[in-house]
Structure 1
Amino acid sequence: MQPLAEVDITDLSHDGRGVARLHDKAVFVAGALPGERARIRIVRRHRSFDEAKVEELLVRSAERIEPRCVHFGTCGGCALQHLPTDRQIAAKQRVLAENFERIGKVAPRTWLEPLTDAPWGYRRKGRLSVKWVEKKGKVLVGFREEDPRFVADLSVCHTLLPQVGERIGALSELIAGLDAKREIAQIEIAADDRTTALVFRHLVPLGDEDRARLVAFGRTHDLAILLQPKGPDSVQALEPERIDLRFRIPAADVELMFRPLDFIQVNAGMNQRMLAQALDLLDLREDDRVLDLFCGLGNFTLPIARWAGSVVGVEGEAGLVARAGDNARHNGIDNAVFHAADLAQDQRAAGWAKAGYDKLLLDPPRSGAAAVLDYLPRKGTDRVVYVSCHPGSLARDAGILVERHGFRLSTAGVMDMFPHTAHVESIALFER
C-alpha cells in the first residue's frame, strides 16, 4: 500500500479532481477542492502524473458543501456534488476559456450567460450496468465506479428522473429474483414527456416467470418495460405491447418521435433552453438556407425549419436520418431535407456539401468537426453556431474557423447539461 502524503490543492482539473504537486509531479486528487490541504494516498502512478484519493481533509475549502448523494465518491456518475452548482458552472466556464486560449489560441469577444436548469432529477436518458455478485448474494445496479472495472452498488440516484432514480434498490431486488439474474447486463433508460421506459439487455432468452415478474414491476411502478435480447434492432416492447415515445419543443411547435435507444439530449429542460439559445444566435431570416450537421433526429433541424427558408440535415446513422424524415412529415414540415453521410470522412463531393448555405449549425460528438471543416463552411456562409460536448475539440475547431476560414469567435458560453458531473457542454457563435 502506498504511503500517505500531505498536499495543497491549487486547482480543479477538467474532470473535476483537485490538482496538487508532489515531488515536482502533478497529482489529481478525487474529491478535493482548490484551497484545501489533504492527506492523500496515491492509487495509480503514471509517467507524467499520479492519481490519488483523499484519506483525510486537513483544511477544508469554504466552498465545500455536503454531497446530497450517499454514493458520492464511490459512484463515477458525479464528480462535483461537493461544490455548489453556481461554482460548478463557473469552473466549467473556466475550463472552456482555458481550452480556447491553450488549444485554439482564440478568445470570444463576449461571454454568454451560462445556461442552467433544474440541478436534480434531470436525466431522462441513461444506461445502468447490472452485475450479479455471488459473494454478496445480490445484484448491483448502477453506474460504473470511479474505477470503471466495477459497478457501483447504488440504492438511489438523484440525477436520474425520480421515477427511476428512487427505484434503484427495487430494480436490484427485482433482478435478484429472476431466474436469469446472471444474464441481465444493463438497463437502458429512456423517458419522454409522459412515459419512462426501461430496456433490459438479457444474454439468454427469458422464461415466462421472469417475463411475468418484469411485467408486474412495470405495472406497479408505472414504467414501460422493453427487452433487448441482441443488438439495438432487437428491442421489443413487453409491457405495454406498444410504446410510442415523443417529446415536444413548444417554442417551435415541434414534436419529435424517437425509439428507446436513439440519441436524444439527456436533459429535457436544458434542451429547450439550448434550442432557444441556438435559434437566437443563428438569427434566422425567412429566406435563409441552413445546413445542420450531425443532426440526429432533427432536434435542431426541425425548429430551424419553422423560421428559415430551407434546412438540410446530415447525420451518419441511417436509422436516425429515416426517423428525422418521419418527424418532418409528422410535423407538416416540407422545407427540411435529410441525408445520411459519415461526417468523419470527406464528403465534399456530395451534392449537399457543394450547395450554398447562409448559415451552418454544428452539433458534433466529442471528437468534434475537424474533418468537416476541411471543406466547410463555403464562402457564402457568414454565420456558424457550434454546439459542443467537449471543450477541447471545440477549441481546436474554433482555431480552424478563425485561422483558415476567416471567422471571428463572437461569443461563447457554457450550458449545464449535466449538473454535478465534470461534463462541459457549450455553445459558440462564429461570424465572418
Structure 2
Amino acid sequence: MTVVLDIESLDLEGRGVAHREGKVIFVTGALPGERIEAQPGRSKKNYELASMVRVLTPSSQRVEPACPHFGTCGGCAIQHLSPAAQVAVKQRVLEDALEHIGRVTDYTVLPPLHGPNWHYRYRARLSTRFVRKKGGVLVGFREKRGAYVADMQECRVLPKQVSDLLMPLRELLGGLSTPDRLPQIELAMGDDLIVLNLRHMEALTDEDKRKLAEFGAARGVSWWLQPKGPDSVHPLQAEDAEKLAYSMPEFGLRMAFKPTDFTQVNHQLNRTMVSRALRLLQVESHHRVADMFCGLGNFSLPLATQAAYVLGVEGSETLTRRAQEAAQANGLAEKAEFMPCNLFEIDAEWLRARGHFDRMLIDPPREGAEALVTALSALAPAERPKRIVYVSCNPATLARDTAIMTEQGGYRLLAAGVMNMFPHTAHVESIAVFE
C-alpha cells in the first residue's frame, strides 16, 4: 500500500524528510516542497524509510540528473536538485545547526563559495571487484544500497580524463594475474599528474607490472602500488616519486603530496577557500598565528607569506614532516614551524605553553575541535587569539563548538557561510569567523 507524503526538507544524506502519524519518514529522491507517492519500507520506533513511487507535485528546483548512473551509483545524492538550490539547502542546514545546537542567530551570512559543478573531484576512492557475470572487473563507486560496485561507464564528477579511464581500467585489471585480489584504486590528482594507487592483496608479477607501466605511459597515468597498509605505498616507477603537487598561485606556492595524504577534493574551490580564510583572519605582518589541524600546511604556508610566525599543529607526524619540507621548499622555513600533537587531548596549559597567538585557524575533521575550543575558553581573555576562523566539514560539530566558544570563551560569531566543496552530494562544508 502506498502513501502520499509532503516533503518538508532534506536530511544530511540528501533524502527527503516527511512526517506521518508521529514518525519521521526518509525518502530517497524526494525534494523539499514536493508531494509524492511513496512505498513504505523498513520501520523503526522513531522513523521509517520509504521508496518513491512517483512525484505528484514536483519542485520547481527539480532537474534531470546529468549522469546516466545517478540513482544507482552512491557517489552523488542530489543531482536531481539544481546546483543553486543545493547550495541554498546546505546554507539552511548550517543555519539550523547554529541556531538549534550553537544557540546563535545574530551573525552575518557570508555569500556561498562556488567552484565547478562537474569534473571537480581530484580525490576519489574507487572500488574494484571481479564479477564474472558482468564479464570482468568493475571499477567505480559503490552502489547506493549495499556493497556492490556500480557498473559505471563514466562519471560526471571525476575529471574528464579520469572518467575516460574507467572502461580501459576494467580491461586492464581483468587481464592481470589476480583480478579478484584488487580491492580498490585511489585517485590522487595534482596540477600535472594523475596518480592511481592500486591496492593489491597478492604480489604482482613482472608481467602485471609491465602491463601497468604500458597503460600508464599510453594514458598519462602514474601508478603507485599498495600491498599492505598506507605506509607500504610506493611508485611503480621511482622517477614519479616527487611529481605529485598542487599549486596556489595567489601565494606563489607549490604543495607536494603523496597519494595517501589528505588533500582537498576540489582544488579550485580550495584556492578560493584559503583566500577567504586569510581575508577573514585579517592577518598582519607582525602577527603570530596558529593553524590547528594543519595537515600538509594548506593554510599554514599561505599564512606564512603574510604573518611573522605560523605554528602548524597536526596529529600525524608524517603530515607535519611533509609540511615542514614544503615550508623549506617554498622558502618559508624561518616563518613556519610544525609539530605533531593529538589536538583531541589538549588543555589550557598546553595552549599556554605555546605562547600567545594573535590569530588562529581551526580546520578539524568531522569530530570537530571540542577539546581545543574548551581549552581556549579556559584561558584568560588576554591570552586568547583575538580572531579565529573555523573551517568545518560537519555543521553539527561546528555548532557545538560555537556554543562553547560563545558561552564559555567570550567569543562572538561574526559571520558564517557554506562552501560547495562537494556539488551533488549532501556534504556541508562551511567557514565561520569569531572575535
Shift in alpha-carbon separation, 1:395–1:179, aligned structure 2, 3 A: same
Alignment of 1:133-282 (within 5 A): 133-239=131-237, 241-243=239-241, 244-282=243-281
Q: Deviations over 1:325-365 (max 9, x none)?
A: 00010011111111100111125444775411111100000
State the 1:42 CA deviation: 3.2
Instruction: Identify which of 96, 99, 105 aligns with 1:98.
Output: 96
Aligned to 1:345: 345
1:126 to 124, 127, 133: 124
Task: State yes or no: 1:403 paired with 2:407.
Answer: yes
TM-fit CA distance, 1:274? 0.2
- Whether contact under 8 Å (1:347, 1:353) holds in the other structure is no
Aligned to 2:395, which of 391, 394, 405?
A: 391
Aligned residues: percent identity? 46
What code does the residue aligned with 2:339 have? H
Q: Deviations over 1:48-74 (max 9, x none)?
A: 111222122222222111000011111
Alignment correspondent of 2:285: 286
Question: Residue type of the partner of 1:307?
Answer: Q
C-alpha displacement of 1:175 = 1.4
Over the aligned positions, Cα root-mean-square deviation in angstroms equals 1.6
Unaligned runs of 5+ in 1: none
Shift of 1:108: 4.6
Contact residue 180 and residue 210 of structure 1 kept, 8 A:
no
CA-to-aligned-CA distance 1:378-430 (integer Å, 9 cap, x gap)? 43311010000010000111111100001110001100000111000000000
Aligned to 2:308: 309
Q: Residues 261-296 of structure 1, C-alpha deviation per residue, up to 9 Å, x if partnerless?
A: 100111000000000000000101111111110000
With normalisation by structure 2, the TM-score equals: 0.95
Alignment of 1:406-425 (within 5 A): 406-425=410-429
Q: CA deviation at 1:22?
A: 2.9
1:132-165 C-alpha deviation (Å, 9 max, x unpaired):
1234332221112222422222111111111212
- The answer on 1:330 being equivalent to 2:329 is yes
- Measured in 2, the distance between the counterparts of 1:140 and 1:232 equals 23
What's the CA shift for 1:240?
6.5
The aligned amino acid for 2:340 is: A
Q: Aligned residue pairs: how many?
A: 429
Equivalent residue letter for 1:205: A
User: CA 1:425/1:108 → structure 2, altered by over 3 Å: closer, same or farther?
Assistant: farther
* Structure 2: segments with no counterpart, 5+ residues: none
| More off after superposition, 70-79 vs 363-372 | 70-79
Per the alignment, residue 372 of structure 1 pairs with 372
CA distance in 1, matches of 2:40, 2:236: 48
Q: Quick one: structure 1 residues 152 and 393, their matched pair in 2 at CA, closer, same or farther if it must change by over 3 Å?
A: same
- After TM superposition, the structure 1 stretch with the greater mean CA deviation from structure 2, 406-415 or 129-138, is 129-138
Indicate if the aligned counterparts of 1:107 and 1:409 stay in contact, CA closer than 8 A: no
CA distance in 2, matches of 1:290, 1:33: 43
The offset of 1:245, in angstroms, is 1.0
